[in-house]
Chains A and B, each alone.
Chain A
Amino acid sequence: EVQLVESGGGLVQPGGSLRLSCAASGFTFSTYAMHWVRQAPGKGLEHVSAVSRDGASTYYPNSVKGRFAISRDNSKNTLYLQMGSLRAEDMAVYYCARDRGAAAGMYYYMDVWGKGTTVTVSS
C-alpha cells in the first residue's frame, strides 16, 4: 500500500524551530518529487515547499523562503521539513504529498497525501 506518514509536529514558541518528517512506503520514493502543503485551522491549502527526486533542487514560496528547508534521504525513504523562526501564522496541519509529474525540474499535482502533523506556535 502506498503510504505517507508525517511526524514531528508539536507545540513550539514563536521564534522556535521544528523538524517534520514524512516516511514513505509502498512505492519507489527516489523516483518522485515531493511536497509539503499546510492548512491553517479552518483555512485552505497552501503549498510551502517542494523537492526534486534527487534532492538537488528545491522550491519555496516567499512566505517561508529563508525560514524553511526541505530535504530528503532516499536511502531512508524519508522527506523532511526543517522550520525555523516560526510565527503564529505558521500554525497549521502540515501534509507531505507525492508529485505525480514526469518531467524532471518541474512540479505538478499531488496524487498521494499523508494524514498530516499539527504544528502549534504559541507562547
Chain B
Amino acid sequence: QTVVTQEPSLTVSPGGTVTLTCASSTGAVTSGYYPNWFQQKPGQAPRALIYSTRNKHSWTPARFSGSLLGGKAALTLSGVQPEDEAEYYCLLYYGGARVFGGGTKLTVL
C-alpha cells in the first residue's frame, strides 16, 4: 500500500515563509506524479491551489508556489496571511490511482 507523507503540523508567523512537503513511500517524487496541493478550512470542501507540481489555478494567490525539493513535492507560502491558517493536502498520481497525503495543519501565530 502506497503511503504519502506530510508534516502533521507546522506553525508560521504572519508575514513569514513556510514550506510544506509531500513524500512518497515508493521513492523520490518527480513531475510524473503530477503533485496537486489543496487547502481546506473547517466545514468547507477542499480548494485546489497547485496542479502538476507548480501550476497555479486562476484563483490561487501569488504567495503560494509549488516545486520539487529534495525528492519531495513542496508547497511554499511566502508572506503568510492569517487567512492561510488551514489544513493542506497533497495528492500524487500513481498511474491510474491517486493517493492523498495525511495533511498538514498550518497554524499562523
- Whether both chains belong to one complex is answered with no
Binding site for B on A (CB under 8 A): none
Residues of B bordering A, CB below 8 Å: none
